[in-house]
């Protein structure tokens, strides 16, 4: 459901990607969500939701950077989604744009009013980008590869009997081996 989809932005694998809208671009995305917003919360429009700090955005346009690394013929969307916090405090999706503004070709936002099939497909593309971002950035880069540096520095600079070394060593176990395998078999050339 739409509410489950929105809840995953808070309780899913990447809760830090959801941010409050700092600026309100007057573009097609904002104009398209006025109908959805007025249905979801009568009396509200995009400007009033922005003014009250109730608009949130989740932007995966960074996913387009891997476009050149992918196999030919593989489509990867770099979506941005707009969310609204309802009166009862529940987050609700308003619209999804599948490609960034500078994308060549049509780039109209998809809303729940666009059609159930298009909306479900847009949410699926968004979930795929969310999962890809989690695996590549949140998990591999921000966890494994950063910890690899810390493990190497700790091994070189801390005595094995040092309390911090004893505390961290179990967490470093097998990390270097896993990262070496990831570089040779998981990551694309």
pLDDT digits (tens, 9 = 90+) for 148-183: 888 889 989 999 999 999 998 888 888 888 888 887
Calculate the dihedral angle through the C-alpha atoms of 24, 29, 31, 33, rounding to the nearest 10 degrees. Answer: -100
Compute the distance between CA of residue 17 and CA of residue 134 in angstroms, rounded to an integer: 10
pLDDT, the chain, mean: 80
* b/e 114-139 (16+ beta carbons within 10 angstroms → b): beeeebebbbebbebbbebbbebbbe
- % of the chain residues with pLDDT over 70: 82
Decide: helix, strand or coil at residue 59. strand
Number of H helices, E strands in the chain: 7, 4
- Residues 37, 46 contacting (CB under 8 angstroms): yes
Strand partners, 92: 84
| H/E stretch holding 132 | helix 116-133
pLDDT at 137: 78
Q: Give the mean pLDDT of 77-87.
A: 84
pLDDT tens, residue by residue, 3-20: 888 888 888 777 778 888
By C-alpha distance, which of 101, 86, 96, 77 is closest to 25?
A: 101
Q: Quick check: 103 pLDDT over 60?
A: no
């Amino acid at each position: 459901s739409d509410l489950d989809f929105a809840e995953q932005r808070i309780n899913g694998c990447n809760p830090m990607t959801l941010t409050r809208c700092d600026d309100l671009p007057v573009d097609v995305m904002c104009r398209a969500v006025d109908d959805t917003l007025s249905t979801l919360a009568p009396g509200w429009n995009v400007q009033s939701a922005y003014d009250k700090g109730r608009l949130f955005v989740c932007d995966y346009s960074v996913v387009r950077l891997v476009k050149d690394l992918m196999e030919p013929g593989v489509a990867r969307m770099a979506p941005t989604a707009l969310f609204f916090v309802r009166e009862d405090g529940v987050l609700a999706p308003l619209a999804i744009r599948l490609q960034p503004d500078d994308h060549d070709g049509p780039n109209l936002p998809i809303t729940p009013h666009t059609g159930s099939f298009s909306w479900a497909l847009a949410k699926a593309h968004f979930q795929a980008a969310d999962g890809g971002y989690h695996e590549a950035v949140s998990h591999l880069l921000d966890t494994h590869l950063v910890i690899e540096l810390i493990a190497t520095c700790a091994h070189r600079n801390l005595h094995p009997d040092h309390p911090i070394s004893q505390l961290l060593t179990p967490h470093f176990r097998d990390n270097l081996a896993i990262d070496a395998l990831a570089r040779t078999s998981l990551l694309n050339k």
